[in-house]
């Protein structure tokens, strides 16, 4: 039995399976729909600044002093109508079609300065547009608008907004891809567009579904095509990295577990250990910090109970927020900055709700690191008290091979698009600002930016603009704090001009499954996709060896997709391999992997696909990876092994 052979075979099966800040209009607008800022310039009482959105070609952030045409009383009585009228008056500035019909109200917040922040949702023919949100900010009098920011998608077009696939059917498809899951958010019909959802092509009507499965653990968001039932996207939103209830899972995966501590202290008859006491104490410390420093009453600002579970699973070296509570593996509640980090994910979810991928996901991680460092204000390390030691540094991200400047940005498909690595860039900006003006002032700026100036799809440019605006709100437009905020972001390469590189993370398996000349049975293609998602979430993600292959898949999936799209022969070979191995993978997932054998035909199909990918990639990274693996193996040695034997041997070989 050749261990290298087994490792390589499963690796490659997994690969298939699985602009400016514009002071008074200096600079160039990116190509895109016309956005005429003349009307805004004409009415602003001070010079306007603009940050453009390279994805949409319209402004992402406009700051100035614009008459709202309303009073504080009128704004409080009907914020949606006041805001819609302003947008209709200046619709050409944002490339909008019909602001009176396109926007609905999400919520209105009044901050401690007396300013009103109106958060809007874009709709298309009455259906919400995923990620398209707008914030309009009014001064305390209600008579002036100081900023407008967010994402608007011009030019949307769909043949119909009537779904062919019912919500219940979409839910069954999603739950089949994550068996044993519970519903976190019931299906919602939304419009999704490739400009904000880069995995999608064009504009699609989709069902948005959120499921949680505790044993993986996974908190998956699914986009199901409302016309075909195809799974367009599966994103694990599990964010890893003073009414309190603290539990122990006793090294099981049952949540919340056995109650150890309440606000009154230990539960009678229970003896919480250091992990339980730490989780309880540090959650209280974090609650006290947000209340005393920012006036925030728990993560929802309405006194929500802080629920935590320690001793989750076995050999689980991590902590996460699952949407309702904090969860810690053994020893991972020992660091107060980690506890604060996880609780800040909860704050983020209830405010900006930053999508957990690419730059918005990196901002999500960064804000958790920033406030972790504000609670543990003795250093700039994250998690130095963990059993594994520190995991990141805000002052020196390079210490952990994380970028600290935009020039070092990692355009990757791994780690949800580099959320734990590219967070080093805004982390460094936060450190520099704190050193310049002190942690207390910096924390006020970042809290205000997070809670009032960001939306779910905000990127680094938006965070910069939001922080500068927050500093101006708090300390004045010409204050040292505002100037230092601008300087801190400039020092890490963020000057408002940056356009993020377009991620190339198309799913290689989807490219094959979407070819109807190869899979004319749409139902079979959906069932195959379900098996592949199950393989990722229920098999590969549960062991170190499997996670390695997930990482390798995301490292190469973009190139594999490009090669498959170019070459119909490669797509045919991939389709043949999928048809051959999916029954074995399904059996393995269902506990019958010892009943299905790797056949000589499967090996020949794998060899043919590997040869084709290597030749097409020439001397690229994918070809080098394939060659490095194949140099140590004899593929014919796989024939005769059951899928269960191959999987178990693989995991033993990686220990």
* Token pair belonging to 463: 């965070």
* Token pair belonging to 411: 């355009």
Tell the residue number behind the tokens 């905020």, with chain if given.
Answer: 485
Catalytic residue, candidates 420, 459, 481, 498: 420
Q: Identify the three-state secondary structure at position 358.
A: helix
* Token pair belonging to 613: 């990918």
Q: How buried is residue 282: exposed, middle or buried, by Cβ count under 10 Å (0-12/13-18/19+)?
A: buried
Instruction: Tell me the DSSP string of 441-461.
Output: HHHHHHHHHHHHS--TT--HH
Contacts (Cβ under 8 Å, ≥6 apart) of 345: 239, 241, 321, 364, 368
Whether 645 is catalytic is no
State the number of CA atoms in the 13 A half-sphere of 440 facing the CB: 3
End-to-end CA distance of the chain: 17
From the centroid of its chain, how far is CA 134? 19
Q: Please give the backbone phi and psi of residue 526, each rounded to the nearest 5 degrees, phi first.
A: -65, -45
Q: Please give the backbone phi and psi of residue 49, each rounded to the nearest 5 degrees, phi first.
A: -120, 145
For residues 429 and 366, is the Cβ–Cβ distance under 8 A? no
Catalytic residue, candidates 102, 342, 349, 459: 342
Q: Identify the three-state secondary structure at position 188.
A: strand
Contacts (Cβ under 8 Å, ≥6 apart) of 653: 3, 6, 7, 545
Angstrom CA distances, 359 to 63, 408, 490, 500, stand at: 22, 14, 17, 8
Query: Among 282, 192, 213, which Cα is nearest to 242's?
Result: 282
How far apart are the C-alpha atoms of 497 and 590, rounded to whole Å? Answer: 51
Query: Among 432, 242, 458, which Cα is nearest to 357's?
Result: 458
Angle, CA 217 vertex, CA 541 and CA 233 arms, to 5°: 70
Whether 607 is catalytic is no
How far apart are the C-alpha atoms of 160 and 11, rounded to whole Å? Answer: 41
Hey, which residues does 244 pair with through a beta bridge?
A: 306
Pairing relation of β-strands 59-67 and 49-52? antiparallel
Q: Is the CA virtual torsion 118, 119, 124, 125 positive or negative? A: negative
Task: Report the catalytic residues.
Answer: 342, 420
């Amino acid at each position: 039995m050749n261990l290298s052979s087994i490792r390589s075979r499963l690796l490659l099966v997994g690969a298939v399976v699985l602009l400016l800040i514009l002071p008074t209009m200096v600079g160039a607008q990116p190509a895109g729909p016309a956005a005429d800022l003349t009307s805004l310039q004409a009415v602003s009482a001070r010079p306007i600044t603009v940050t453009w959105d390279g994805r949409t070609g319209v402004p992402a952030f406009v700051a100035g002093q614009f008459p709202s045409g309303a009073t504080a009383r009128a704004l409080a009585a009907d914020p949606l109508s006041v805001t819609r009228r302003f947008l209709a008056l200046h619709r050409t500035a944002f490339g909008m079609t019909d602001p009176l019909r396109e926007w609905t109200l999400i919520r209105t917040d009044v901050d401690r300065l007396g300013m009103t922040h109106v958060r809007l949702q874009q709709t298309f023919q009455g259906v919400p547009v995923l990620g398209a949100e707008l914030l309009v900010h009014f001064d305390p009098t209600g008579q002036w608008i100081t900023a407008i920011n967010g994402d608007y998608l011009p030019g949307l077009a769909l043949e119909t907004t009537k779904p062919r696939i019912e919500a219940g059917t979409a839910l069954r498809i999603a739950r089949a891809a994550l068996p044993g899951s519970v519903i976190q958010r019931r299906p919602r019909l939304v419009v999704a567009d490739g400009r904000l959802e880069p995995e999608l092509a064009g504009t699609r009507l989709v069902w948005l579904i959120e499921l949680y499965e505790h044993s993986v653990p996974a908190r998956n968001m699914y986009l199901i095509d409302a016309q075909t039932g195809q799974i367009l996207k599966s994103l694990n939103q599990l964010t890893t990295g003073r009414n309190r209830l603290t539990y122990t899972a006793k090294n099981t995966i049952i949540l919340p577990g056995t109650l150890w501590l309440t606000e009154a202290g230990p539960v009678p008859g229970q003896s919480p250990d250091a992990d339980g006491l730490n989780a309880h104490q540090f959650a209280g410390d974090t609650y006290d910090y947000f209340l005393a420093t920012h006036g925030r009453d728990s993560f929802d600002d309405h006194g929500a109970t802080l629920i935590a579970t320690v001793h989750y699973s076995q050999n689980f070296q991590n902590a996460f927020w699952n949407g309702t509570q904090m969860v810690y593996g053994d020893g991972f509640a020992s660091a107060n900055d980690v506890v604060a980090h996880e609780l800040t994910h909860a704050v983020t979810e209830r405010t900006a709700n930053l999508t957990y991928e690419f730059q918005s996901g990196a901002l999500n991680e960064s804000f958790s690191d920033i406030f972790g460092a504000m609670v543990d204000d003795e250093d700039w390390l994250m998690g130095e008290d963990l059993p594994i030691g520190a995991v990141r540094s805000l002052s020196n991200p390079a210490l952990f091979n994380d970028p600290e400047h935009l020039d070092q940005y990692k355009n990757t498909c791994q780690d949800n698009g580099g959320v734990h690595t590219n967070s080093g860039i805004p982390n460094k900006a936060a450190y520099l600002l704190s050193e310049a003006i002190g942690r207390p002032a910096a924390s006020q700026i970042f809290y205000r930016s997070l809670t009032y100036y960001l939306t779910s799809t905000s990127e680094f440019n938006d965070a910069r603009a939001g922080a500068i605006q927050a500093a101006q709100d708090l300390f004045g437009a010409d204050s040292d704090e505002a100037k230092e905020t601008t300087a801190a972001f400039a020092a890490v390469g963020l000057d408002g001009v940056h356009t993020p590189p377009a991620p190339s993370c198309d799913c290689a398996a989807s490219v094959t499954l979407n070819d109807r000349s190869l899979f004319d049975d749409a139902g079979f293609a959906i069932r195959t996709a379900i098996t592949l998602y199950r393989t990722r979430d229920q098999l590969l993600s549960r062991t170190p060896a499997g996670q390695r292959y997930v990482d390798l898949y995301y490292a190469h999936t973009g190139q594999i997709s490009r090669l498959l799209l170019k070459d119909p022969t490669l797509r045919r070979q991939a389709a043949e391999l999928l048809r051959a191995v999916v029954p074995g993978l399904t059996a393995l997932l269902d506990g019958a992997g010892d009943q299905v054998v790797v056949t000589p035909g499967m090996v020949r199909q794998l060899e043919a696909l590997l040869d084709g990918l290597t030749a097409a990639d020439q001397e690229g990274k994918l070809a080098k990876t394939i060659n490095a693996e194949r140099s140590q193996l004899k593929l014919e040695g796989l024939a005769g092994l059951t899928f269960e034997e191959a999987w178990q041997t693989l995991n033993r070989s990686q220990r």
